[in-house]
Structure 1
Amino acid sequence: MKVRSVIPDIEVTDIEAARSFYQDFLGLGEEEFNLGWVARFTEPESRAAVQVVTEDETGPANPVLSLKVDDIDAAYAEAKASGFDIVRPLTGEGWGVTRFFVRDPDGNIINITAHRVTEDGE
């Protein structure tokens, strides 16, 4: 498994209220996506990013960190083989990612995620 990016997940009560802080003040001006309960703000040049989350819509808890990986199946198999606490099993989501939640040794919930590649390479 190779980690492609690490994105902090910050719990907020209102994504719209958080927008001016993360976009205007911190300069994370590009809103990559907004699902209503999670949004990602990114600095266009460096691609530094932060996700803000109100309440994970499909998971049992809010993660503190999202890791994009190149091989989600290998990551899941390795997490299980290592005996880590799988908080949410490997699941395909309607917005095009497959992910699972795993608890680190200190109890933090980590969202391991990858975009699925279709047969035509997209």
Structure 2
Amino acid sequence: MVKVHDVIPDIPVSDIDAARGFYEDFLGLGNEEFNLGWVARFTSAETGAHVQLVTEDATAPLIPVLSLKVDDIDAAYAEAVDRGFDIVHPLTTEEWGVTRFFVRDPDGNVINITAHRE
């Protein structure tokens, strides 16, 4: 069984800068953890709640609905393959430092399974 230690909603937006005020000011997610131009994470300094705003994906064919941080990315990938799940984006170590893959859930939602390798 996969051990998930963080769940981050991925929200499709047309323009991160245009959406910034709503998420930072109105929702109080004022800490921009990172911004790669096509994806940015906004977090509440008070509660730790966060969302990712996504305009596209730099290396994958689809925008996921969720990003799940897991403790063992290799085991998670092996289990997804063993269970015959639809892998939308293969296990890849991305240039921005994460290893991830995308898998489709039974209802067709695309989930980004991710981890930072130590």
Superposition misfits of 4+ residues, deviation over 4 angstroms: none
Residue 10, structure 1, aligned to residue 21, structure 2: no
Q: Cα RMSD (Å) of the superposition?
A: 0.5
Once the two structures are TM-superposed, the CA of residue 111 in structure 1 deviates from its matched residue by: 0.2
Q: Which amino acid aligns with 2:9?
A: P
Residue ranges of structure 1 left out of the alignment (5+ in a row): 118-122
Give TM-score scaled by structure 1 length. 0.94
Say which SS state the counterpart of residue 107 (structure 1) adopts: coil
In structure 2, the residue matched to 1:61 is 62
In structure 1, the residue matched to 2:84 is 83
Q: Number of paired residues?
A: 117
Residue 74, structure 1, aligned to residue 50, structure 2: no
Give TM-score scaled by structure 2 length. 0.98
Say which SS state the counterpart of residue 77 (structure 2) adopts: helix
Q: What is the alpha-carbon distance in structure 1 between the residues aligned to residue 39 and residue 4 of structure 2?
A: 21
Residue ranges of structure 2 left out of the alignment (5+ in a row): none
Q: What is the alpha-carbon distance in structure 2 between the residues aligned to residue 82 and residue 93 of structure 1?
A: 24
Q: Which amino acid aligns with 2:104?
A: R
Say which SS state the counterpart of residue 75 (structure 1) adopts: helix
